[in-house]
Amino acid sequence: MPDSPTTILIVDDNLTNLSVLFEYLHRAHFKVVVAQDGLSALERVHHIAPDLILLDVRMPGLDGFETLRRLKAIESIKEIPVIFMTAMSDMVDEIKGLELGAVDYITKPIHGERVLARINTHLTLRNLQKNLEERNAELDAYAHTVAHDLKAPLALMMGYAELMADVRDPDEWEELQAMGQAVYRNGRKMNNIINELLLFATVRKGEVEVMPLAMAEIVAQAQDRLTQMIDEQQGEIIVPEAWPVAQGYAAWVEEVWVNYLSNGLKYGGQPPRLELGAAPQKDGTIRFWVKDNGPGVPPEEQELVFAEFIQLTKVRAEGYGLGLSITRRIVEKLGGEVGIESLPGQGSLFYFTLPASVGR
């Protein structure tokens, strides 16, 4: 039985066949739509977007072959699986139908269990194909973003390295030292991007055991990792004296704090002042947050902040990029959600929720 209602379009001019199939599939908890000719099927397919089509070959007017040709010519619906229904002796029809793009065929007289088995098989195959297409598109977008983010620091490093190689005059050693520091900073940035790539791969396929979190230790470790950035930005970070206990995976939650804190340090005020906090919610979760003293994020951009691999380069020097999209993926995998509250000129509050630890 499908997990959610699945729509099947039956195209057949034989009322007896329609009735038998409709009753059987309806009892199997499918949503069933019928059409008695090819033209009606082509009209309805746009409105109902079926998950699978059962198509009779021999129909008056527009037969099954021509109906299938027209279905496959429509970009938005050409991937819908089509199963041909043929007479027992029509081997030629079966071959022709498969050549035109049908995924399978069933022979008449119709046997309900056989039809149901074929339908479930091809719905499963189609879902697997969709998942693969989505993952491929996701990986393509991620690879493009990683390449884009690595390109700029790599170009700077190569340029500085070339200049450093030409330095001969001792009077230029101070300038050489500045170049070396720039190479180090950009190398550190590239290392962070590579770490995010590895984390993304881990989160996509990894299952972890959630445990009660020592949040004070996790936040302290996140701050330690950002010590140099905090010093450079002259940032102030205010943490609460105590934290409510949530459940999660410490290594992933540390990455969430690192991403929230680093974004607050980049886009907060001058100097940045970040307030951290947490509060239990009525739904059994705990809400954690980082509030900055920056200019705020416009409403039209707030919808994009956590989107997959979005770069808000129009208003940001570097954009939110990988970090917050990975943060969203981490938190959702741990059973929580992420969000932002922001008003122009009043800073931004980035939050995430996690399930509260049982008994706490």
Q: How far is Cα of residue 233 from the mean position of the Cα atoms in its chain?
A: 32
Residue 142 tokens read as: 């991620």
**Fold of the 7-110 domain:** Rossmann fold (3.40.50)
- The pLDDT value recorded for residue 317 is 35
Which of 10-19, 83-92, 206-215, 341-350 has the lowest average pLDDT? 83-92
Would you say residue 343 has pLDDT above 60? yes
Architecture of domain 135-206: Orthogonal Bundle (1.10)
Residue 324: name the closest of 238, 248, 259 by CA: 259
| Architecture of the 209-360 domain | 2-Layer Sandwich (3.30)
| Contacting residues for 171 by C-beta, under 8 A, at least 6 apart | none
Of the ranges 117-126, 218-227, 277-286, the best mean pLDDT one: 277-286
CB 274 within 8 A of CB 291: yes
Domain extent listing, the chain:
7-110, 135-206, 209-360
Distance, in Å, from the CA atom of 19 to the CA atom of 59, rounded to the nearest integer, reads 16
Q: What DSSP assignment string belongs to 71-132?
A: HHT-TTTTTS-EEEEEETT-HHHHHHHHHHT-SEEEEESP-HHHHHHHHHHHHHHHHHHHHH
Highest mean pLDDT among 48-57, 163-172, 177-186: 48-57
Instruction: Give the global pTM.
Output: 0.53
pLDDT of residue 314: 37
Give the lowest-confidence range in 107-121, 148-162, 239-253.
148-162
**What percentage of the chain carries pLDDT values higher than 90?**
28
pLDDT band at residue 192 using 50, 70 and 90 as cut-offs = low
Contact 290, 260 (CB under 8 A): yes
What value does the mean pLDDT take over residues 48-58? 89
Checking DSSP bridges between strand 273-280 and strand 338-342, what pairing results, if any?
Answer: unpaired
Please give the residue that has the higher pLDDT: either 93 or 245.
245
Please give the average per-residue pLDDT across 5-9, as a whole number. 89
- Report cis status (omega within 30 of 0) of the bond before 109: yes
Nearest-angstrom CA–CA distance, 94 and 132: 28
Residues 154-168 have a mean pLDDT of 70
